């Protein structure tokens, strides 16, 4: 609706016009300060300009009235317009608010090392990324979800070593564990499985590499299953090991563009030329590429696939990598502004006010699967979507298991289920409900307007990358409906058909909004 008002104003004034939603409904549904921007040009006070402009909107059917208040123009949507818009929303059904945006986006998220099960920190970026994916696709963007498998380097070698040492211990051999290795019951379980599958011969030093590759594949299967348990699926899996085969091509490109130099036996990236605090080593004295080299080759690979936008969702500990990767992209001859990096902060869990117990299986992490088993995928998805990713998040899992209004996902679902309960109780036919006209008093209008704002909320959530705008909206819509329900008898009244139609508009927006969060709305509770 905001877009419709913006188009009307832009057509009238032949320029872009700011359209706001007043904090109080008594000032209308939309407001614009356009009179202030015209004051200098017209040499009049904004209040006089607004008074004059208000009279020029009487011919627009979209508005019941337009008032000038202290230089602002306040627009009150007409009953005819809101009924027409409601009819369109109900005809569109699940597609209400769908967009037709163009553009190809590569969205990379999770990318957890396949050296252990997914912990709760990984799941924040996973759920946030998948929510952005769903919203973006709904708006029409062509988006691919990509998982970058970190299967090269020391962490995979350590996985193989850890399984090897655990296996030796299972065989009754004396084992001296190094300072750095992977701990947890999952390593013991993998060693037992390797023993069953390959026999004792696999636990030889020369087989550590084989154990590493085998263990990595096992972990990827578990990671994919964990992600699937909360409805997350990837279009593409890219192997770091495969990407490293392209490193020489990336290096030649950097050298040809003067992006590197040698010093102290190392090869350095001139990242300070593009705002980094210091130049970065990309090849060590022993000729082994650094972790950054893998990132450079990976982004070279990405840009060669020709997307319009590249979005990376990384953990907050990767903050220092942003400038160096952007520098490499520029030296490779690409536009680093096409890359957007979103950082997710840490997650702290409580249970009944106490720190959540670490997972024995993982050693010293809280596993995603444990939390999903306790609170359910819906509650976890809603919680992680309800906060901006750049803020640390602490929540109590006990609160998310409550079946009352203190649990936000329960509260929203209850509004949706209440509406379907009303429909089941009603003796009216669906066509009679849909053909009715909603007569609007202040409270009905406020609820209907809020329900019809879904498209702009969805768009704003994606464009700002703030999924919490959608969760906040759904909670507000549910709250408004619960209040309306408690104040109005609906079934078996003269207004039954129109109030059920109003309720259907609300239910449709709740259903769509929850689906974009990866949650299926409940019709009974």
Q: How confident is the model at residue 440 (pLDDT cuts 50, 70, 90)?
A: very high
* pLDDT, tens only, 319-366: 999 999 999 999 999 999 999 999 999 899 999 999 888 777 777 788
- Paired with 310 in beta bridges are 106, 339
Q: pTM, whole model, 2 decimals? A: 0.93
Amino acid 358: pLDDT: 78
Q: How confident is the model at residue 198 (pLDDT cuts 50, 70, 90)?
A: very high
Tell me the C-alpha distance between 405 and 506, whole Å.
18
* pLDDT, tens only, 287-304: 999 999 999 999 999 999
Amino acid 363: pLDDT: 72
**Half-sphere CA count of 242, side-chain side, radius 13 A:** 6
* pLDDT, tens only, 95-134: 999 999 999 999 999 999 999 999 998 999 999 999 999 9
233 has pLDDT over 80: yes
Q: How confident is the model at residue 142 (pLDDT cuts 50, 70, 90)?
A: very high
Mapping DSSP onto H, E and C, the string for 234-272 reads CCEEEEHHHHHHHHHHHHHHHHHCCCEEEECCEEEECHH
Tell me the C-alpha distance between 473 and 479, whole Å.
10
Q: 266-269 and 280-283: which strand pairing?
A: antiparallel
What mean pLDDT value characterizes the chain?
Answer: 95
Amino acid 492: pLDDT: 95
- Domains in the chain, please, with CATH? 2-77 (3.30.1360.70), 404-516 (1.10.730.10)
67 has pLDDT over 90: yes
The separation between CA 1 and the C-alpha centre of its own chain, rounded to angstroms, equals: 24
Tell me the C-alpha distance between 49 and 43, whole Å.
9
Tell me the C-alpha distance between 472 and 88, whole Å.
24
């Amino acid at each position: 609706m905001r877009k419709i008002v913006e188009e009307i104003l832009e057509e009238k004034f032949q320029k872009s016009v700011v359209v706001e939603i007043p904090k109080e409904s008594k000032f209308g549904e939309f407001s614009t300060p356009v009179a202030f921007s015209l004051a200098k040009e017209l040499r009049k006070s904004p209040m006089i300009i607004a008074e004059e402009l208000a009279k020029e909107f009487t011919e627009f059917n979209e508005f019941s009235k337009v008032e000038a208040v202290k230089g602002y123009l306040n627009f009150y949507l007409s009953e005819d317009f809101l009924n027409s818009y409601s009819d369109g929303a109900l005809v569109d059904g699940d597609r209400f608010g769908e967009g037709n945006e163009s553009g190809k986006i590569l969205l990379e998220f999770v990318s957890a090392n396949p050296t252990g099960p997914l912990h709760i920190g990984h799941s924040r970026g996973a759920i946030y990324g998948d929510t952005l994916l769903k919203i973006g696709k709904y708006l029409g963007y062509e988006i691919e979800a990509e998982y970058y498998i970190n299967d090269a380097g020391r962490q995979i070698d350590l996985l193989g070593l850890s399984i090897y040492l655990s296996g030796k211990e299972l065989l009754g051999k004396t084992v001296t564990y190094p300072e750095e290795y992977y701990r947890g019951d999952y390593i013991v379980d993998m060693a037992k499985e390797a023993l069953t599958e390959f026999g004792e011969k696999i636990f030889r030093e020369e087989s550590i590499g084989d154990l590493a590759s085998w263990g990595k594949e096992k972990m990827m299967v578990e990671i994919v299953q964990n992600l699937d348990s909360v409805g997350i699926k990837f279009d593409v899996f890219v192997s770091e090991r495969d990407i490293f085969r392209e490193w020489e091509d990336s290096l030649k490109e950097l050298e040809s563009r003067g992006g590197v130099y040698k010093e102290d036996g190392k090869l350095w990236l001139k990242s300070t030329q593009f705002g980094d605090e210091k130049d970065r080593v990309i090849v060590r004295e022993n000729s082994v590429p650094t972790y950054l080299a893998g990132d450079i080759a990976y982004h070279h690979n990405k840009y060669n696939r020709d997307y319009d936008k590249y979005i990376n969702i990384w953990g907050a500990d990767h903050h220092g990598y942003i400038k160096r990767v952007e520098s490499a992209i520029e030296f490779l001859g690409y536009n680093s502004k096409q890359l957007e990096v979103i950082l997710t902060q840490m997650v702290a869990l409580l249970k009944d006010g106490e720190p959540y117990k670490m997972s024995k299986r993982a050693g010293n992490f809280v596993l995603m699967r444990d939390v999903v088993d306790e609170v359910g995928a819906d509650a976890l998805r809603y919680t992680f979507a309800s906060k901006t990713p750049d803020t640390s998040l602490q929540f109590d899992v006990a609160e998310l298991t409550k079946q009352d209004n203190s649990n936000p996902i329960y509260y929203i679902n209850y509004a949706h289920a209440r509406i379907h309960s009303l429909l089941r109780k009603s003796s009216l036919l669906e066509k009679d409900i849909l053909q009715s006209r909603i007569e609007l008093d202040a409270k009905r209008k406020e609820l209907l307007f809020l329900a019809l704002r879904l498209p702009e909320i969805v768009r704003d959530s994606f464009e700002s990358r703030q999924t919490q705008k959608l969760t906040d909206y759904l909670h507000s819509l549910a709250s408004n409906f619960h209040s309306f329900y408690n104040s109005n008898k609906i079934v078996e009244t003269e207004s039954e058909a129109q109030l059920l139609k109003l309720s259907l508009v609300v239910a449709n927006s709740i259903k769509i909004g929850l689906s974009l969060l990866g949650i299926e709305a409940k019709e009974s509770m």
